[in-house]
Amino acid sequence: MTYFDEVPSTQDIAIAEAMAGAPGRLLVLAGSQSAGRGRDGRLWRSPAGNLYASLLLRPMPEAPLGACWSALAGVALFDAVAPHATGRLVLKAPNDLLLDGSKLAGLLVDTAMAAAGFLDWVVIGAGVNLATAPDLPDRPTASLGAAIGARPLALAFAAALDAWLAAGWDAVWAAYNARLA
């Protein structure tokens, strides 16, 4: 795990490391982000006390392309957060984790293809409201109330990703569909 007090974006650091040839399993964690982003380049408010993490994976050449990586990220984050949530937790396609109908977390998946036509790398980013829930103009937000710290949650998320990868894609899709709102 690589930890920073503050960075512009953990996702951008992990992507730069991937492009520089870093091996997989690199976990980048930050106390806060000054330029965090979500899907479609949306600003992700990143005050101190919440989880901001990105994990670089180097998939096997036969790894599938497409939305399966978002499904994998969703079920892994769900499993990491569930023991600490005191309400109804569901996934909202394509990249949100909701607690009692309010946005608790967001996921971001970036990928790059190798010249041989398979995935070279996958970077899965997660932002989880642990201590505070930023005000968003278009939706209610929630926090876990600091029920778990960022480092233990990041490690639980990485472990859940490993477990779901080992379980296989059919199991990932079944779990994803069962957890959808």
pLDDT tier at 42, thresholds 50, 70, 90: low
pLDDT tier at 47, thresholds 50, 70, 90: confident
User: pLDDT tens for residues 140-159?
Assistant: 999 998 779 999 999 999 99
User: pLDDT tens for residues 103-128?
Assistant: 999 999 999 998 888 899 999 999 99
Report the mean per-residue pLDDT for the chain.
Answer: 92
Residue 44 clears pLDDT 90, i.e. is over it: no
Measured between alpha carbons, how far apart are the two ends of the chain, in Å?
32
| Tokens 């101190």 found at | 48
Distance (Å, rounded) from C-alpha 89 to C-alpha 74?
A: 11
Higher-pLDDT residue of 32, 146: 32
pLDDT at 138: 82
Q: How many CB atoms lie within 10 A of CB 134?
A: 15
Class of domain 2-179: alpha beta
pLDDT tier at 39, thresholds 50, 70, 90: low
- For 137-146, which contacts have Cβ atoms below 8 Å and span 24 or more sequence positions? 139/102, 139/103, 140/101, 140/102, 140/103, 141/102, 141/103, 141/104, 142/87, 142/98, 142/99, 142/100, 142/102, 142/103, 142/104, 143/50, 143/104, 144/81, 144/84, 144/85, 144/99, 144/104, 146/49
Domain segments of the chain: what residues? 2-179
Residue ranges of alpha helices (H) inside 82-180 are 150-167, 169-179
pLDDT tier at 43, thresholds 50, 70, 90: low
pLDDT at 136: 79
Q: What integer is the mean pLDDT of 156-181? A: 96
